[in-house]
Amino acid sequence: MDVTRRNIIEVNLRDVQAAIDTACTTHGRSRSEVTLIAVTKTFPASDVAHLAALGITDVGENKDQEARAKREEYLRIDPSHPLRWHLIGQLQRNKAKSVAAYADMVHSVDRVALADALDKACLSLGRRLPVLLQVDLESGADPERGGVRPDELMPLADHVQKSTSLELAGLMAVAPLNERPTSAFARLAAIRERFLADFPGAQILSAGMSHDLDAAIAHGATHVRVGSALLGSRTPVG
C-alpha cells in the first residue's frame, strides 16, 4: 500500500468534508442531507481503495469502460468495503447494457432513447435502476456536456416514470463555465421546485463539484460530485 498517497487523500478528504460541513452550516442544511460522491475518473483502483478505507461509500465515474474495469479491479483488491457506483458522464445508448450490469445510479439520463435503452437492459437483468435526469443549464450552448433542456424536462420525466425498471430519483446538473455557479444553481433550484410538484418522490439533486459545492449546497444539492479536490488535478486527455 502506498502510505504517502493514502495520507494525501486523507488530508484532502478532511478538507472536502470540512467544506461540506461549512456549507451546510452556512446555508441551514443538515449535514446528513448531503452525500459526498468521490469522482475517481482517470485515477486508479488503488485510489478507490484508499477512499473506501477512509470512509467513502459512493464513487462516480464518467465512462462506462473505465468504470466497469475499475470496479472489477477494486473488488479484487478490496472486497471488504462495498461501494455504490454512480455513472455521471454522457452515455451512449449502446453502453446501456453494460452500465445496467453494475451501476447503482445513472446521473446523466437526458433523452428518451437512452432511458429506453437502460430500461430494456434492466428489465432483462431483472433489476431496478435509480436514475437522475440531467438538466442542461445553458440551453444547448454546449452539446458536449449533455442534459435535457428545461422545457423538455417534464415530458422526459413522465416517460421515465412510466418505464418498467427505471426509478425516477431526481435531477443532476453541471454549472455552465461562463456563469457564476450561484446564479446557475438558483435557476436549477427553481426548475427542481416545479419538477418536485409533479414528482415528489424524486428528491435527489446531484450538483456541485470541487469548486462550486458551496453554491450547490446553498441551492439544495443532496449529492456533490467531487474529484480534483480529493485526488488532485487530472492529466488532460487527448
Ligand X SMILES: *Cc1c(COP(=O)(O)O)cnc(C)c1O
Residues that bind ligand X (CB under 6 A): 39, 41, 62, 88-89, 174, 209-211, 225-229
CB of 234 vs ligand X, minimal distance in Å: 7
Residues β-bridged to residue 166: 129
Counting every residue written for the chain, the total comes to: 238
CB of 49 vs ligand X, minimal distance in Å: 19
CB of 165 vs ligand X, minimal distance in Å: 23
> Which one, 62 or 165, has the nearer CB to ligand X?
62
Detail the DSSP E strand segments found in the chain.
35-39, 58-61, 84-87, 105-109, 129-135, 166-173, 204-206, 223-226
CA distance 126 to 138: 36
> Which one, 118 or 165, has the nearer CB to ligand X?
118
CB of 164 vs ligand X, minimal distance in Å: 27
CB of 209 vs ligand X, minimal distance in Å: 4
CA distance 204 to 201: 9
> Which one, 99 or 229, has the nearer CB to ligand X?
229
> Which one, 106 or 229, has the nearer CB to ligand X?
229
Residue nearest to ligand X (CB): 227
Helix intervals (H) in 35-180: 45-53, 64-77, 96-100, 112-125, 153-161
Going by C-alpha positions, the residue among 66, 127, 84, 117 that lies closest to residue 225 is 84
> Which one, 21 or 198, has the nearer CB to ligand X?
21
